[in-house]
A = this chain, B = another copy of it.
Amino acid sequence: MRSKTLFYLLLMIPVSISSVMLIHGCSPDKPEPVRISIIPDNEYDPSKWGEVYPLEYESWLKTRDPRPAGKSKYKKGWDNKTIYDKLSEYPYLAAIFNGFGFGIEYNEPRGHYYMMTDQVEVDKSRVKPGGACLTCKSPFISKLINDNGNALYSMQYADSVKLIPEKFRSLGASCIDCHSNKNMEIRTSRWTISEGLKTIGKEEISRQEARTVICAQCHVTYIIPRDDKMQPTGVIFPWKKGKWGDISIENIISQIKSSPSYVEWTQSVTGFKLGFIRHPEFEFFTRDSVHFKAGLSCADCHMPYIRTGVFKISDHNLMSPLKNDLKACANCHPQARDRLKEDVIAIQDRTASLLNRAGYAVSTATKLFEAANNLKGTADTELYKKAKDHYIEAFYRLIFIGAENSMGFHNPSEAGRILGDSIAFAYKSEALLRQAVTKAGMSLPPDIGLDLLKYLNNRGTKKLNFIPRQELPDPFGIQELLVPRSATGI
């Protein structure tokens, strides 16, 4: 009797399982967290990490692959194996950056895999003192600073690269930059971000915040302070007066202007000594953007969870969500992806239009300073000085949005505000300069010639030229009313 009961009970198990499957449909394999294992200390080689974490490694390795073209309208990176020339995309920058490395060769980055390669392959006339540039680009930077001290910053770029073991000289952002080898937890590896966070008084970092802070190791602007001989002495984040969620363009500009040691280059066309602003994604995104305030981190949109077989991992194939068909967006936004994409492009088009407006306004003012300088000091000093103050405000705002890698999407209304102010300052500068120059007896046409091809062609040792098909013109066609094409010199 007992054995018969047992027989029937055993018989029921598969039946029950089948019933459950029938009710719930064909149940998929349950995603499982990846196993945790041990990586040796100071292991730089991603392939060694990949032996323990093959799925993450494989997804990271995909940052090497070209992207299909046409997915992102403005951030083209490595689409169809093309390297995009930012000076051709935004030709007004050529006049503004003339005299600086960025005016010689300035490309859209291809992605994490190519971080070092993009830098090593840049025109040789661009790379002078440049050890400081490894601060973001190489995972070896902390070791190099430990071994060489501050001398590294002012070392010739090529010499500093030679300090990296040969097989790792083209290794960009990789495992050790963001992960602890002990337990795979994310953690920062740069002193720059630690000092930056100290500057803004941010002591406790939640895990969700860490998923932003990790990216802020490099996706921030920075200052390379110089000594009397213009030799780099370090790398700092200009975050004074800032706080978590509020590092404003105004505070960044104020800090850049606060010390002559923050001057990084001399603008050829005007003779002005200026600082610089690079890829401020962290500052821009975290300043009251809707997505940041909703609690999102960089990784939520750029490293969405994906399933690989039975495993669930963060996608390490980082890119614009546009290139990924908005997979990350779909986690919160159930709308059709085509519709979501239209929203993104509408915001980016508007930002691109204002960027165009600000860029041509700044480049026009740049050329007017050249004209005023030709007057050898006969231009009204008060007007000239005020025009210069306004110009500098316009310049930093322009390059802040120009360098930020989302064409406004990370914080749409803040992009409008910053560019609107750039436009205001640039044109106010033009207004005062037109008065000063006219007062000194010089005649000016209504449209100032920008001579852009002069700055766009024959750049550096590579003799780089303007690539017309890469230009990103004003999507609304308004720019022509303010600076007609005939005045651009293109």
- State the A residues within 8 Å of B (CB): 250, 288, 290, 293-294, 335, 339, 342-343, 346-347, 350-351, 353-354, 357-358, 361, 382-383, 386, 390, 393, 408, 412-417, 419-421, 423-428, 430-432, 434-435, 438-439, 444, 446, 476, 478, 481-482
Contacts and interface: CB of A to CB of B under 8 A. Distances in A.
Given A250-B478, A288-B342, A431-B434, A357 B412 contact: no
A342 B250 contact: no
B361 A424 contact: yes
A56 to B, nearest CB: 32
* Chain A contact residues, majority secondary structure: helix
Contact of A438 (B250, B342, B427, B435): B435
A250 B293 CA distance: 33
Contacts of A335: 294
A482 to B, nearest CB: 6
B293 A424 contact: no
B420 A412 contact: no
Contact of A416 (B361, B382, B417, B425): B417
B413 A482 contact: no
* 3 interchain residue pairs of minimum CB distance: A416-B416, A427-B427, A431-B431
Contacts of A434: 431-432, 434-435, 438
Contact of A412 (B354, B382, B413, B421): B413
Q: Looking at A351, A354, A414, which has the most chain B CB atoms within 10 Å of its CB?
A: A354
A335 B335 CA distance: 19
Nearest to A409: B413
Contact of A476 (B250, B382, B423, B432): B250
A293 B347 contact: no
Contacts of A430: 427-428, 431
A383 B420 CA distance: 24
Contacts of A431: 427, 430-431, 434
B417 A415 contact: no
A413 B350 contact: yes
Given A290-B343, A342-B293, A414-B350, A446 B419 contact: no
